[in-house]
Amino acid sequence: QSWQFVTEELQGEVQYEYAAEFANRISEKTDGAITVEPLEFGALGSEVDQAQLLQQGGVELAVMSPGFTGNQVQDGQIFSLHYFFPSDQEQVQEVLTNSEALNQDLRAKYEEHGISPLSYWTEGAMAWSSNAGIESPDDWSGLNIRVQESPLMRETYAAYGATVQSLSWDELYTALDRGTVDAQENPIFFIQSASFHEVQNTVTVSNHNNYVAMTTVNTDWYNGLDDNVKEVVDETVAEMQNWVFEEQTAQNQEGINAIEADTDSPTEIIELTDEQIEEFREVAEPVHQYYRDEVSDIDQDIFDKLQEEIADVMGE
Ligand code: 6CS
């Protein structure tokens, strides 16, 4: 058997390296009876196109960012709330790996659309890049930020006074360079790897949320696998949680070092103080309730359960 595993990133970046490591492990465990082909972003269209391809069974596996299915699976937008998950990365990963709200209930929502998320993992804390230098919510006033395909992001940034625009990431460098978009959000490794720092003067280490990715499979395909094959897939997905946590930690550390070392494109790194983060948190928190109570088709039970699970992990 041969399976295709599409990713939203390029060789060397976290998602692609994940798919490549997954492929090696599957091939080893099955003595080569199953081969998995990792695919870089680009050949199969935009991130939204790739999500549709997985849904239609055009590929078996995909690393998918919930931000690109925000119009289809409303509940997946929960990851784009600001200052909702813990600020500590290990706690974030603990929630993503063990949460019943995510791994059972949210998974069921995705399965209504033919997408089975087998795991959720962080690619790192989100940071903002801009020329303006974001240090307080007011600094967002009048700026246009590129976000993924998620209606909730509009509300979140509107609370700060910004407008949003949805684009595929492969159009983003040019948009920032030309100034048609003022700012963007991504984990540090990706800001460096996609060279966004070359066309932005500052990076704000805001930790406003995490870049969450999902390991997904086409639901019908997965359900049709022999039990022993399904077990190999599930076991490998579970093992990969620690692997990818270490991979993203290393890549984000290397990313910040590389930005600092890039004297051709000097980029100011703005570390927010606790007081500054508090200012953002105050503006962002009402959006949590807005999401829970006002966004149509949101399952409030998932929100409530996840909120409790987060509090438990944080020891509250
Ligand atoms: O900003 C984006 O859309 C891209 N960012 C990352 C970290 N991975 C792929 C994604 O498409």
Does residue 207 come out as left (phi exceeding 0), alpha (psi in the -120 to 50 range) or beta? Answer: left
* Residue of 143, 246, 146, 144 whose CA lies nearest to 191: 146
Question: What whole-number distance in Å separates Cα of residue 261 and Cα of residue 80?
Answer: 30
Domain count, the chain: 1
Residues 6+ apart with CB under 8 A from 123: 14, 15, 187, 189, 190, 210, 211, 212, 213, 248
Choose one of 48, 65, 197, 210 to mutate for the ligand 1 pocket test, by most ligand atoms within 8 angstroms of C-beta: 65
**300-313 and 274-294 are packed helices; what angle lies between their axes, rounded to 10 degrees?**
150
For the segment 261-311, what is each residue's pLDDT rounded down to a tens digit?
999 999 999 999 999 999 999 999 999 999 999 998 999 999 999 999 999
For the segment 85-116, what is each residue's pLDDT rounded down to a tens digit?
999 999 999 999 999 999 999 999 999 999 99
Ligand 1 within 6 A of CB of 65? yes
Ligand 1 within 6 A of CB of 139? no
Query: What confidence score (pLDDT) does residue 150 get?
Result: 87
Average pLDDT in the chain: 97
**CATH classification of the domain holding 67:** 3.40.190.170
Question: What whole-number distance in Å separates Cα of residue 293 and Cα of residue 306?
Answer: 15
Q: Whose CA is nearest to atom 2 of ligand 1?
A: 169
Query: What confidence score (pLDDT) does residue 316 get?
Result: 85
Place of tokens 């625009």: 165
For the segment 19-59, what is each residue's pLDDT rounded down to a tens digit?
999 999 999 999 999 999 999 999 899 999 999 999 999 99
Whole domain around residue 24: which residue ranges? 2-313
* Residue of 284, 223, 297, 240 whose CA lies nearest to 81: 284
CA–centroid distance, residue 84 to ligand 1 (Å): 20
